[in-house]
Amino acid sequence: MNKKHIELIALELHIKEWQVEHTVTLLEDGATIPFVSRYRKEATGSLDEVQVAAIHMLWESYKALDKRKEAIIRSIEEQEKMTSELRTAIENCWQMNRLEDLYLPYKPKRKTRASVARSKGLEPLALAIMENVTEDCLQLAKEYTGEEVASAEEALAGARDIIAEIASEHAELRQQIREVYQKEGTVMAKVQKGKEEEGDKYRNYFDHTETLRTMAPHRLLALLRAHKEGIVSVVLKPRQEQTPQTLAEKTFLRNDRHNAYNQDASHASWHMKEALADAYRRLIHPSIENEVLNEYKDKADRESIKVFQENLRQLLLAPPLGQKRVLAIDPGFRTGCKVVCLSEQGDLLHNDTIYPHPPRNERSQAMRKITQLTEAYKIQVIAVGSGTAGRETEQFLKKIAFPHKVQIYSVNEEGASVYSASKEAREEFPDYDVTVRGAVSIGRRLMDPLAELVKIDPKSLGVGQYQHDVNQTLLKESLDQTVSLCVNHVGVNLNTASQKLLTYVSGLGPRLAQNIVEYRKENGPFPGREALKKVPRLGEKAFEQCAGFLRIPDASNILDNTGVHPERYSLVGQMAKDLEVTVNELVDSELLRKKINLKNYVTEDVGMPTLQDIMAELDKPGRDPRAFIKVWEFDQSISSIEDLKEGMILPGIISNVTHFGAFVNIGIKQDGLIHVSQMGRKYVHNPLDVVKVHEHVMVKVLKVDTERGRIQLRLERD
C-alpha cells in the first residue's frame, strides 16, 4: 500500500491517515461503501458514506496515476533515455498534468516542423543558438546548407522550429504558464456570424468576458455547449498576454548576450525571441488553453453531478405511502385517462380508460366508473400523474362523492414513460400497452418511490443540471452510487423486492439479484437471512456484504427484520442472556434495554459506535428511515400561466434544484424559478442549503412572461 497516497488523501479530506489506510484495506478486500460506512465504524473512525466514497475515488485516481507512471518509465527506458534525475522526478510526481509534462519530450510524435528540421541535421544549429556560441548566426547557418537546406534563412527557420518545440516541452515553463492560465485566465466568447437567431437562447454569451477561476459551473457548461453547437467562439487567454512570453524568455534567455542586439537577425537573441514567441503562440497556448478549459470543465461537471446526486437522493428518499390499495391515473385529454387498480403489494388488479375531459367530455360516465372501481377494489387512495391534464383530473376527482374517505395525491410522473417502454416493464406486463404500464408506475411510486424509481434511468427523472453536457461515465458512476447508498440506507424486503432493486443492494449486483429472484420463485419466501446462503453463487463474502441491508418482516428471528448484522446476533443474544430474557423480550421492552450498560460489551472488534447502532435498531425494528408522506394542495384558482399575477403568494413543491436556483411546481404546466438571489435576505451560496427536492414551499410571483413561458418567483419564509 502506497503510504504517500494515504498521506495525500488524508491531507485532502482532512482526516487521519489511519482512517484512510483502514478504509482502503477494507475496500481493496472487496467491501462496499455502504458496508464499510455502516458496519465497520471502529475501523474507519465512523466515517460516513460520503467520506468513504471520497477515499475510494481518490485511491482509484492515484492507482491510475501509478499505472501511468509505470507506462511512462517503461517507454523512456525503451528509448534508453532514462536518467536517475528523471526517474526521481516521475516517481515523486502526484499530478497527472505535471507527469505528462515530464513525459512530453519523450512522447512518440507524429511528424512535426521540428522533427523535419532535425531530419535535415539542424539540431546542432538550434543548440548553438540556444547557447549563443556565435556572434553571427547567419554565417554559422550557412554551414548547414546543402541538398536538403537551400539557404541560411531556411536553416535558421528550421532551427527556430526546433527551439520552439524544446521550449514547448519544458516541464517547468509549462507549469508556470499553466498557473497563469489557472489564476488569470479570461474566457472570451463571441457569437459566430449569422448564428444570432439560431442561438437566441445563448444570447447572454454573444459578447461575454469572464475570469475562468470565478465562473459559475452552470455558466461555463452553458457557454461550452453553445461553443460545441457552433453558436459562439470561445477563447481562453491570460489577463496580460505578455506574461507567458516573459516567463518563456526568463527561462531560456539566461545568457546576458541574448538580451543584446535583439533587433539584429544575425544575433542569437533575435532568433531565440522569435522561436519563443512562436512556441507560445503555436504550441504552448493551444495546449494549455485546451488543458485548463478541460480542467475547469471537469470541475464544473463534478459540481453539477454533485447537485444531481443530492436531488436524486432527495427524490429516492421521498416519503412512501406504504401498502395501500391504490387507484392510479395517467391523465390525458384526447386519448383519455388510463386507470389502474393496484393491490397493497402493487399488483395490477384492473385497468380501464375514462374520458372526463375534452374533446369527449364524458364526465358522468367517468364519475360512475371511478366510484364503482373504488368500491369494488376497496381503494384507499388515488394517485394522479402530474403531467398533461393532471391538474384538471385532480379537480374532476374532487367533485366525486365517494362512499368512503379517499385521499387524492398528485404524483410526479417524470420518467414513467421511460419505465413503461422498458424491457422490465414489458416482461412484467406483456399483455398491456405502455399507457397501462405508465399508470402502474405512477401508483407504485406513490406507495414506495425508491422501489419504483430505481427501475428508471436517473437521467430521465427530471432532477439534473446540464446532464447531457457533463462526463457521462462519471455521471453514471456517481448516480449509480447514489442509488446504491439510498437503497442500502432504507433497506430492502428480501421477499418482495424486484430484481432491479436487489441489484443495488451491497454485495449483490445483477447476477446475484437474478439468482435470488429465481430461488424465491422456486422455493417460496426466504424464512430468514441464513437461507440466502442457499442461493447459487452467493458465497460468504457476498452474504457478509448484503445480509445487514436485507429485511424479512415475518422471519422467526426478529433480528432478521432489523439493520443488525448477523455477525452481531450472538452479541445481542448475550445481552438478552445477561438480563435472563429472550431476544424477542429484549426487543419488545424499552425498560429492559435501558438496563443494558453498553460499556460491558466493548471489545477490540466492537466499539461504542456499533453498540449504539445496534440499540437504535432494537428500539425500532423494521423501521423505515424515510419521513411520513404529507398531502399538499395547489391553489385551486390557478390552472394556467395566464391566471398568474405579480404579487400572488402560492403553495408549490420544489421539483429541481440547480446551482442558480430552484424550480417549483405550482400546479400548472410551467414550473417557476426561484433564482438564488430570491432565496433569502442573506447571500445564498448553495441553493441546496435552503431547499430540497419535494419540499413544500410558499412562493411569491415576481414576474410572468407568458410568451416565453417563464415565471420568476421568490421564496417566502416565516
Would 265 be classed as within a structural domain?
A: yes
Backbone angles phi, psi at 715, to 5 degrees: -75, 130
Ranges of H-type helices in 3-83: 3-13, 17-28, 33-39, 41-44, 49-78
Would 631 be classed as within a structural domain?
A: no
Q: What is the CATH number of the domain that holds 569?
A: 1.10.150.310
Q: From the CB of residue 286, how many other CB atoms can be counted at a distance below 10 Å?
A: 12
pLDDT digits (tens, 9 = 90+) for 576-602: 999 999 999 999 999 999 999 999 999
* CA–CA–CA angle 550, 551, 557 (5° rounding): 120
Q: List the grid coordinates of 382.
A: 388515488
Q: By the 8 A CB rule, do 199 and 226 touch? A: yes
Shared domain check, 192 and 266: yes
Q: From the CB of residue 666, how many other CB atoms can be counted at a distance below 10 Å?
A: 23
- Secondary structure class of 698 (helix, strand, coil): strand
Give the C-alpha distances (Å, rounded to integers) separating 477 from 31, 249, 472, 482, 510: 17, 45, 9, 9, 15
Write the CB contacts of 426 (distance below 8 Å, at least 6 apart in sequence).
437
Would 649 be classed as within a structural domain?
A: yes
Residue type, 712: Q
Would 296 be classed as within a structural domain?
A: yes
Residue type, 652: G
Ranges of H-type helices in 317-386: 363-376
Domain boundary among 426, 447, 468: 447
Domain membership of residue 653 as a residue range: 641-716
Closest by Cα among 650, 620, 653 to 638:
650
Would 627 be classed as within a structural domain?
A: no
Would 202 be classed as within a structural domain?
A: yes
Give the C-alpha distances (Å, rounded to integers) separating 394 from 330, 337, 440: 11, 12, 17
| Cα 70 from Cα 99, distance rounded (Å) | 11
Task: Report the pLDDT value the prediction gives residue 261, as an integer from 0 to 100.
Answer: 45
Shared domain check, 572 and 443: no
Per DSSP, the residues of 499-545 read HHHHHTSTT--HHHHHHHHHHHHHH-S-SSGGGGGGSTT--HHHHHH
Shared domain check, 351 and 230: no
Q: What is the CATH number of the domain that holds 342?
A: 3.30.420.140
Shared domain check, 520 and 421: no
Shared domain check, 286 and 143: yes
Q: List the grid coordinates of 449.
A: 418511490
| Cα 225 from Cα 219, distance rounded (Å) | 10
Sign of CA dihedral 522, 528, 533, 539: positive
Closest by Cα among 251, 298, 291, 299 to 275:
251
Closest by Cα among 699, 702, 698 to 645:
702
Q: What is the CATH number of the domain that holds 276?
A: 1.10.3500.10
Question: Between 608-619 and 569-578, two packed helices, what is the crossing angle to 10 degrees?
Answer: 80
Task: Report the pLDDT value the prediction gives residue 264, as an integer from 0 to 100.
Answer: 65
Backbone angles phi, psi at 679, to 5 degrees: -100, -10
Q: By the 8 A CB rule, do 93 and 172 touch? A: no
The whole-angstrom distance between residue 424's C-alpha and the CA centroid of its chain comes to 25
Domain boundary among 306, 340, 373: 306
Task: Report the pLDDT value the prediction gives residue 630, as an integer from 0 to 100.
Answer: 80
Mean pLDDT, the chain cut into blocks of 10 residues (718 residues total): 91 96 96 96 95 96 95 95 95 93 92 95 94 83 93 96 96 95 94 92 92 92 94 93 86 62 71 94 95 95 92 92 94 94 94 95 95 95 91 91 90 87 88 92 94 89 82 92 94 94 96 96 96 96 97 94 96 96 94 94 93 94 82 83 93 91 90 93 89 92 91 89
Q: By the 8 A CB rule, do 434 and 420 touch? A: yes
| Cα 24 from Cα 585, distance rounded (Å) | 39
**Is the preceding omega at residue 359 within 30 degrees of 0, hence cis?**
yes
End-to-end alpha carbon distance in the chain: 54
Shared domain check, 370 and 291: no
Write the CB contacts of 473 (distance below 8 Å, at least 6 apart in sequence).
none
pLDDT digits (tens, 9 = 90+) for 627-642: 888 877 888 888 889 9
Backbone angles phi, psi at 187, to 5 degrees: -90, 130
Shared domain check, 160 and 63: no
Shared domain check, 647 and 681: yes
Shared domain check, 183 and 71: no
Please state whether beta strands 348-354 and 492-493 pair in parallel, antiparallel, or not at all (unpaired): unpaired
The whole-angstrom distance between residue 500's C-alpha and the CA centroid of its chain comes to 20
Q: From the CB of residue 518, how many other CB atoms can be counted at a distance below 10 Å?
A: 13
Task: Report the pLDDT value the prediction gives residue 580, as an integer from 0 to 100.
Answer: 94
Q: By the 8 A CB rule, do 33 and 481 touch? A: yes
Q: By the 8 A CB rule, do 396 and 366 touch? A: yes
Half-sphere exposure of 266 (CA within 13 A, CB side): 6
Task: Report the pLDDT value the prediction gives residue 255, as an integer from 0 to 100.
Answer: 55
Domain boundary among 396, 431, 447: 447
| Cα 596 from Cα 575, distance rounded (Å) | 7
pTM of the model: 0.87
Task: Report the pLDDT value the prediction gives residue 629, as an integer from 0 to 100.
Answer: 81
Shared domain check, 159 and 295: yes
Shared domain check, 138 and 224: yes
Whose cell is 452510487? That residue is: 481
- Residues in a beta bridge with 493: 551
Q: How many structural domains are present in the chain? A: 5
How many contiguous H segments (helices) and E segments (strands) does the chain have?
Answer: 30, 15
Would 700 be classed as within a structural domain?
A: yes
Residue type, 622: G
Please name the helix (run of DSSP H) or strand (run of DSSP E) that holds residue 434, with its range, or none: helix 434-447
Shared domain check, 291 and 332: no
Would 175 be classed as within a structural domain?
A: yes
